[in-house]
Chains A and B, each alone.
Chain A
Amino acid sequence: MLEYFVDLLKISLPILYLFTIFLYGLAFFLDEPFGIRNRTRFLIGTLTVHLVYLISRTILTGHPPTTSVFEIMSVVSFTIGLAYVSIETTTKVKETGVFILSLAFLFEVVSAAFVKAEVHVNPILKSSVLGLHVGSAMLGYSALAIAAVYGGLYLMMYHEIRSSKFGIVYRKLPDLKSLEKLSYVSIVLGFIFLSVVILVGYVWLPKTIDDFSYSDPKLIITDIVWAIYFVALLSKKMMRWTGRTVMIVSMIGFLLTVVSMVVVNVFLPSFHNFK
C-alpha cells in the first residue's frame, strides 16, 4: 500500500513542479492574474507533497533518501524549492521563480525516472554524522545551484541593458544590484555548507571507512569545487571582482560541480558509494 502511495507521489511530483513553473511562467511572461494569484500557493502545496514523499520514502525503505544519486537529486530538488520560497518571502521578488524552479523540476524529473527503492543499504548510512554530512551537501549544492541561476539572470539582464533591447527581462527581473546580491549570498551559503561537508567528511570518514583514500575522485572533485569558490570569494574581496566576473565564475563553478559529480558517480570507482 505504502509502496503504491510512494510511487504515486513520485509520478505526481514532476507534474506538480511543471504546473508550478507554468503558473510562474503565466505571471512572468503574460501577467496573467491567475498565475500571479496562485503561483506561491501552488509552490507551497508542491513542496508539502514533496516533503510527504520524502518522509514516506524514508518509512518505506527504512533509511533517509540519500543512498543513491537519484535519491539525492530529489532532496536537492526539494531544498532548491524550499530555499527559493524563503528568498521569495524575504525579498518579495517573485519574478525569478520560473527560472529557479525549472532547475528543481529538472532534478526531480531525472530522480523520478531512475530512482529505485533500495531497502537493504549499508549500515553506515544510518549514522547521524552522515545526516550532517549529506544534509550540508544538499543545502550547499542547492545554494550553489540557485547562485548559478541568479548569475545567469544577471548576465541576461546585463546584456539586455548593454544592447539596449529592454525586453521582458529588463521589465520583469529585479535590478542588477539585487541579482548580484542574491547570487553572492547564495554562493557564500553554499560555500559554508560545502566547508561543513568537507570538514565532517575528513574527520569522520577515515574512522568509519576501511578503504578510505585521500585520492578518491569524489573527494578530489569536492575539494576542487570548494577551492574554486574559495578563490572566487577571495578574489571578490581582495581584487574587488564585481558583478559580471563573479556571476561568470558562479556559473562555471556550478557547471563544473554538476559535470564532475555525474562523471565521478557514474563512471569512476569510489569508496564513497555505500551500496
Chain B
Amino acid sequence: MFKLTAVSINHRTANVEAREKIFYTTDEIRELSEKLKSAAQESLVVSTCNRTELYMIPSSGPKTHDELYRLVRQGKRLGDGELEVSYETFEGFEAVRHLYAVATGIDSLMLGDIQILGQVKEAYNTGVELGTVGTLLHHACQMALKAGKRAKAETKISEGAVSVSYAAVELAEKIFGSLKGRTALLIGAGETAELAAKDLKPKEIGRLFIVNRTLERAKNLAEQIGMGEAASLDALSEKLPHADIVISSVGGSEHILTRDMVAAAMKVRENNPLLIIDIGVPRNVDPSVRKISNVFLNDIDSLNLIVEKNMQMRRTEVVAVQRLLDEELNDFIKWYSSLEVGPTIKMLRDKIEHIREEEINRHKGKLNGADLEIVDEVTRSLVNKILHEPMTNLKNAENGISMVDRVKMLKSLFGLEEDEKG
C-alpha cells in the first residue's frame, strides 16, 4: 500500500501571523528531519512564507494526520494551546497530487507564483542531503519539479505581472523592449519607489536617479538598493530629459511634473518615447502631459488594471495546469504500480511453487524415481501454464482496471497480504 501522509498549514488554514510562527528555517528543517528519521521511512518538509507542509511515510504503523500536525508543532517548540491552527490533510496519491499543485503554483496565495518551484527544489535537496528522501519521495519530488517546469512552459499560469511594481516594469518593457541600459528616474524615496527599484534593477537598467524632497532619504534608498544617484527635488528638471522611465510616488497637492517641464524634456531627448508612471495620490503629474506625442502617462489605476487582467488570465489557466497534473500523477501511479507488480508476481510464484513442492513431497513415497521426475515436470509445466495468462493480464495496463487495484485484488485473492505481514 502507498502509505504517504501529508499535512499542510497554508494561507487557507492560517493567517499570516500564524504562518510566520510556523515557518521553518533551513536549520529548523534539518533538526526536524533528523528527529523524524526514527519514525519515518521517508519525510519531506516544505516551508515558505505561505505554507509549512510535512510529507511522511511512517516506518511502523500508520500515523494519523493529527500526529503529523503535532510533530510540526513540536519542531517549532509550540506549547499546548499556543497557536492552534487548522490544517489540510492528504493521503496516498492525493498527497503526491498536492505536492504537484504546490510546485506548479496553482496552490499559491499569488496564483502562478514561480518562486515556489525553487522552494520545493530546495526542500527536496535538503531531504536528499539528510537522507530523509527515499525512493518514493525522490520520484514524487522529481515529477513535481517536472510538473512545475511543464506548467511554466506549456501554460500561461506564471505569465504577466501580478504586482503593481512589476506591472510598471512590464509596461516599460512593452514600450522599450529590453530595459538593459535604459535610465530610470524615481521621484520619491518611499516604499513604492523601493519596490519599483527592486524590480527594475534585475532588468539591468543603465542608470537610476532618485530625487526626493529629503536628499538624505534618497541617498539611503540608493545605498539600500546598491545603485542609483540621489538628488534633491530641485534637480528634477535637470534629470528628467535623461530618463526613459519615470516613476513618481510623492505626497503633496501640487503637480510635481508639469506639461511645460515634460515638453521641454521631450525636446532635449529628441522626442524619444518617455514612460511616466504616476503612483502618487493625489496625482503628481499634470494629466495634460498625456497629450504630448511619444509620452506614455499611466497611473495607479492603469497598473491595477494590468494586474487584474493578468490575474484573470492566470485563473483561466488553472484548468490546463490541473490537466497536466493529472497526466503526471498517472505516470507516477504507473511507476509506483510497476514497483509493486514485480514483487507481487514473485510472491505468487513462490507461494504456488511452495504448494507444488509440498504436494510432491507428500506423495514422494508412492512414486518411483522416474515417475517422480515426470510428475515434477508435469506439475511445474501446469503451474507455469496456469499462471501465464493472469500474470500477462496483470502487467497489461489497458484493461480498464488500474494496476494498483489489480495488484490489490491479486494479493487479497491469494492471501499474499497476510504472507507479506507474516
Choose from A162, A170, A243 the contact partner of B290 (Cβ within 8 Å): A162
- Which of B174, B177, B298 is A164 in contact with, Cβ under 8 Å? B298
Pairs across A and B, CB under 8 Å, 26 listed: A161-B175, A161-B296, A162-B290, A162-B296, A162-B297, A164-B298, A164-B302, A164-B305, A166-B302, A166-B306, A166-B309, A175-B173, A175-B174, A175-B175, A175-B177, A176-B174, A176-B177, A176-B273, A177-B175, A177-B176, A240-B270, A242-B273, A243-B273, A243-B294, A244-B293, A245-B293
A68: shortest Cβ distance to chain B, in Å?
43
Residues in A whose Cβ lies below 8 Å from that of B272 = 242
B136 within 8 A of A: no
Q: Please pick, from B177, B294, B298, B306, the residue contacting A178 in the complex, using a CB distance under 8 A.
A: B177
A161, B294: Cβ atoms under 8 Å?
no
Task: Tell me whether A171 is interfacial, beta carbon within 8 Å.
Answer: yes
Contacts of B299 in A (CB 8 A): 164
Asked if B242 is at the interface (CB within 8 A of a chain A CB), the reply is no
Distance in angstroms between the alpha carbons of A198 and B313 in the assembled complex? 51
Give the residue of A157, A161, A175, A242 whose beta carbon is less than 8 angstroms from that of B270.
A242
A31 close to chain B: CB less than 8 A = yes
Q: Hey, which chain B residues are within 8 Å of A164, CB to CB? A: 298-299, 301-302, 305
Interface residues on B, range: 20 to 34
Q: Which of B156, B174, B301 contacts A170 (CB 8 A)?
A: B174
Q: Chain A, interface size: which category?
A: 10 to 19
Q: Which residues of B are found within 8 Å of A174, using beta-carbon distances?
A: 177
Q: How far is the CB of B123 from chain A (nearest CB, A)?
A: 32
- The answer to whether the Cβ of B163 comes within 8 Å of any Cβ in the partner chain is no
State which residues 169-192 of A face B: CB under 8 Å.
170-171, 174-178
Q: Which residues from chain A contact B402 at a C-beta distance below 8 Å?
A: none
Nearest neighbor of B156 in chain A, beta-carbon distance: A31
B281 to nearest A CB, angstroms?
16
Please determine whether A242 and B294 come into contact, CB atoms closer than 8 angstroms. yes
- B302 closest partner in A (C-beta): A164
Contact B305 A166 (CB under 8 A): yes
Is there contact, CB below 8 Å, between B294 and A244?
A: yes
Q: Is B338 an interface residue (CB 8 A)?
A: no
Interface: B205 (CB within 8 A): no
Which residues of chain B are near A240, meaning CB under 8 Å? 270-271
Closest to B291 in A: A162
B171 at the interface (CB under 8 A from A): yes
One digit per residue, 1 when the CB lies within 8 angstroms of any chain A CB and 0 when it does not, for chain B 272-314 equals 1100000000000000001001101111011001100100010
Chain A minimum-CB-distance residue to B171: A161
Most buried by B among A164, A177, A178, A243: A164
Minimal beta-carbon separation of B266 from chain A (angstroms): 10
B406 vs chain A, min Cβ distance (A): 34
